[in-house]
Amino acid sequence: MNDSIARFYNRISIIYPLINLFLLRQRVHLLEEVNSYPTGKLLEIGVGDGNHLRLYKKHQIIGIDVSELMLKRARKSNPEKAELYCMNGEALAFADASFDYIVLSHVLAVTIDPDKLLQEIGRVLKPGGTLFLLNHFTPETWLSWMDKAFQPVAKLLRFRSYFLPAQLGTLAAAFTLEKIRGFGLHDYFQLRIYSKP
């Protein structure tokens, strides 16, 4: 596990509810989509404080996060909703083909090595399984210069502001894109649903 990331999220755990308010609408749409799929075993990577776990209507939920303080809050508010573990998504301690579904909500742009994370997802997702990926993606519009200009600040906040799906070779190589649903100006935030062949 990258200790610097864990320390960062431990420090911001107290203000994370404010971040959740900003992300809530997108997460509601994400979980509506997830809930429309048949019941299965689901892994959420980067579960944070788990305030959204109540929105899962079915599935066997396993959640992981690198921050023990975030997980402490998640366990307190969701004592029976999910199994929760302190774990790095880039080194998953699960057997191959363990999950029917994997949820990745605003995690891909903050992880150290996005391709390594996607490789691990490809390993533990069952053939025919589904990846629900919610993230910001830099559009090929005037907003791209804003993302580029914001990069120094974003680095301090431990995320990539300038983020293109084309930069992620593992996505194209290991998964099939099934659906895109956009949110916000120029669909800056996107829910991308992928299947594993």
**Span 129-185, pLDDT tens digits:** 999 999 877 667 666 666 666 565 556 656 655 567 777 777 878 899 999 998 866
Structural domain count of the chain:
1
Alpha helices, DSSP H only, in the chain? 3-12, 16-35, 68-77, 114-124, 143-149, 151-156, 169-174
* Joined tokens for residue 106: 């605003």
pLDDT: is 165 or 15 the higher one?
Answer: 165
pTM of the full structure: 0.83
| Torsional class of 59: left (φ above 0), alpha (ψ -120 to 50), beta (otherwise) | left
So what's the pLDDT on residue 143?
66
Domain enclosing residue 58, as ranges = 3-195
So what's the pLDDT on residue 108?
85
Task: Tell me the CATH number at 19.
Answer: 3.40.50.150
pLDDT: is 50 or 166 the higher one?
Answer: 50
End-to-end CA distance of the chain: 29
State CA 195 to chain mean position distance: 16
pLDDT: is 63 or 1 the higher one?
Answer: 63
So what's the pLDDT on residue 1?
44
**Span 70-117, pLDDT tens digits:** 899 889 887 677 999 999 999 999 999 999 999 999 888 878 888 899
C-beta of residue 76 within 8 angstroms of C-beta of residue 100: no
